């Protein structure tokens, strides 16, 4: 089952069309990476899903119910963490979660219990300081706790790690990974290593449309390359190989990239054996999200 389905979504700001018929399907219990360059339309898509922006055309369904601009019925299924969350700085983390539970209609006893569970989950269980003293990473963790308070079926996070240091990024990614059993996670980012680390599914947004979408494992298989990294034992053999196979290109100072185009890797190995060129390493070059991203965005 798909938790979120977007069909033919269009949205313009003045004469600039940001979304050009976007289609998106987010499977249940997935960690879904929504990637694209800054300004690609990721935040616009998310705010339209939340009913905060009116779509010019298209349909959005959350848990099978149609989302409508200005009506928040489907938002009962969603927890949302914006890129820069704001809080009442004079409150503690627990006071803030209890306040949020109260205004959303949760029972007081349930709110207090749930707040305690979530603060432990995000590593703020023993924190008694006011929010005004929180670091950026602590605020992001509190924002995730607040977004999970109502037990949403879909957690939407907009660039949750973009302004954090490596330790803070790891903490947030670990939290998102740990809540997969509780909810489906959709997070936008331009940090491709974050996606490769925790995501099960991915969509690459470019030019207002989804260019690549699917399970990360399937995408890697589909775009499997025909390239090999070749590293001879002796650096003096690099020009010999490069001359024999003109399509090869350097990779660092000690290796070459060989692409099976006109010649196979077996031709290369046969040539090396015939010339007694010792090969220290040869390995298949797996496609990365970075290489796919650069290929799509350069079109």
220-235 pLDDT, tens digit per residue, is 777 767 788 899 999 9
CA distance 117 to 217: 33
Write out the two tokens for 289: 């999200």
Mean pLDDT of the chain: 89
The confidence band for 283, taking pLDDT boundaries of 50, 70 and 90, is: confident
12 φ, ψ (degrees, to nearest 5): -120, 150
Write out the two tokens for 163: 């302004």
**Which pLDDT score is estimated for 296?**
67
**Which pLDDT score is estimated for 164?**
86
User: Mean pLDDT across the stretch 106-114?
Assistant: 90
61: CB partners within 8 A, 6+ apart: 2, 4, 5, 6, 67
Q: How far is CA 295 from CA 3, 38, 223, in A?
A: 29, 17, 11
Please give the distance of CA 178 from its chain centroid, rounded to a whole number: 15
The confidence band for 183, taking pLDDT boundaries of 50, 70 and 90, is: very high
**Which pLDDT score is estimated for 78?**
95
CA distance 293 to 299: 10
Using a pLDDT cut of 90, give the percent of the chain over it: 59
Kindly report the pTM of this predicted structure: 0.81
**Which pLDDT score is estimated for 293?**
74
Is 299's pLDDT higher than 60?
A: no
Is residue 264 classed as helix, strand or coil in its secondary structure?
Answer: coil
Task: For Cα atoms 71, 72, 78, give the angle at the middle one, nearest 5 degrees.
Answer: 150
The confidence band for 298, taking pLDDT boundaries of 50, 70 and 90, is: low
- Between 226 and 96, where is the model more confident? 96
């Amino acid at each position: 089952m798909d938790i979120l389905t977007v069909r033919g979504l269009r949205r313009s700001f003045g004469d600039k069309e940001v979304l050009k018929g976007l289609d998106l399907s987010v499977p249940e219990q997935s960690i879904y990476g929504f990637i694209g360059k800054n300004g690609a339309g990721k935040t616009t898509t998310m705010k339209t899903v939340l009913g905060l922006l009116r779509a010019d055309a298209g349909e959005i369904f959350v848990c099978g119910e149609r989302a409508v601009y200005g009506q928040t019925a489907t938002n009962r299924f969603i927890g949302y963490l914006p890129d820069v969350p704001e809080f009442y700085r004079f409150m503690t983390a627990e006071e803030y979660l209890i306040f949020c539970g109260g205004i959303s209609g949760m029972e007081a006893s349930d709110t207090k219990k749930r707040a305690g569970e979530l603060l432990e989950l995000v590593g703020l269980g023993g924190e008694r300081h006011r929010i005004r003293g929180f670091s950026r990473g602590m605020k992001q963790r509190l924002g995730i706790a607040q977004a999970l308070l109502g037990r949403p079926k879909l957690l939407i996070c907009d660039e949750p790690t973009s302004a954090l240091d490596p330790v803070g990024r790891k903490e947030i990614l670990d939290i998102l990974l740990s809540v997969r059993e509780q909810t489906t996670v959709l997070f936008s980012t331009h940090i491709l290593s974050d996606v490769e680390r925790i995501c099960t599914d991915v969509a690459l947004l470019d030019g207002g449309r989804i260019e690549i979408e699917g399970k990360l494992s399937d995408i890697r298989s589909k775009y499997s390359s025909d390239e090999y990294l070749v590293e001879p034992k002796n650096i003096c053999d690099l020009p010999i190989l490069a001359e024999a196979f003109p399509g090869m290109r350097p990779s660092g100072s000690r290796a070459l990239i060989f692409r099976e185009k006109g010649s196979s890797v077996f031709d290369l190995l046969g040539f090396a054996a015939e010339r007694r060129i010792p090969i220290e390493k040869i390995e298949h070059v797996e496609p990365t999200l970075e290489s796919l991203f650069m290929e799509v965005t350069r079109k």
